[in-house]
Amino acid sequence: MAKYNGVIFDLDGVITDTARYHYLAWKKLADELGIYFDEAINERLKGVSRIESLEIILEKSDKKYSDEEKKYLANKKNEYYKEMIKNITPNDLLVGVEAFIQELKMRNIKTAIASVSKNAFTVIDNLGIRDKFDYIVDANEIKNGKPDPEIFLNAAKNIGVPPEKCIGIEDSGAGITAIKRAGMFAVGVGNPETVKEADLVLKDLSNADEILKLL
């Protein structure tokens, strides 16, 4: 009997690197507002919602913004981002992703994508991978962002696999916390310091054999 029957992927930084587009969009907005923004601040934005990300950026501002102004700025950033992701193609899949998904399919392992991005479906369609997953969470239906486990529990429920039989894959600290709170095995990819709480840490999914050993 397989130890794990489901694998749930984050999207940004795991399947494709949309993180750079997020960074460029936030940087454009911050520059317009005259607010300092760099890669270190950007690291804090990974895995959190758009409004929470904006709040982090506005910490560097002397000006106080109303809720209405914040909503406007968050939407403005999103428009910049949507324009940028039009350029995404299947060539933007990160190393090892395609082969790993194919191997999971051959083993009849259920798969899902759990991304807090409201633009996830656009990215997934541009990558040409929508039909490769059993379920894709609609972020609009999720009330609580990561590190809350809601999005991973939603994915597990919809692929019909108990949380304790699922492996979650993330590149953010908030995402790893969400996976652990959901009662799943956590795989962290990318910066080892960022995902140090994970049960297994990999540079990227070219090392996916380490996950396959668990199945």
Please state the domain extents for the chain: 6-16+89-212, 19-87
> According to CATH, what is the number of the domain 6-16+89-212?
3.40.50.1000
| Per-residue pLDDT, 156 | 98
> Strands, DSSP E only, in the chain?
6-9, 110-113, 135-136, 166-170, 185-189, 200-202
Residue 56 has which token pair? 């982090």
Q: Find out whether 13 and 174 touch, Cβ atoms under 8 Å.
A: no
Q: State both tokens at 134.
A: 């059993």
pLDDT tens for residues 12-50? 899 999 878 989 999 999 999 999 999 999 988 877 788
**Cβ atoms 54, 77 nearer than 8 A:** yes
Rounded to an integer, what distance in angstroms lies between the CA atom of residue 88 and that of residue 91? 8
How far is it, in rounded angstroms, from Cα 157 to Cα 71?
32
CA distance 11 to 15: 5
**C-alpha span between 153 and 178 (Å, rounded):** 9
Q: Quick one: average pLDDT of 194-203?
A: 96
Residue 118 pLDDT greater than 90, yes or no: no
pLDDT at 11 over 90: yes
Residue 91: both structure tokens together = 């060539």
What class has domain 19-87?
mainly alpha
Q: What is the mean pLDDT of residues 118-132?
A: 95
The residue-averaged pLDDT of 133-161 equals 95
How far apart are alpha carbons 112 and 7 in whole angstroms?
A: 7
> Among residues 50, 127, 120, which one has the least CA distance to residue 87?
127
CA distance 105 to 83: 33
User: Cα 205 from chain centroid?
Assistant: 14
Q: Tell me which residues are annotated as active site.
A: 10, 12
Predicted confidence (pLDDT) per residue in 168-192, tens digit: 999 999 999 999 999 999 999 998 9
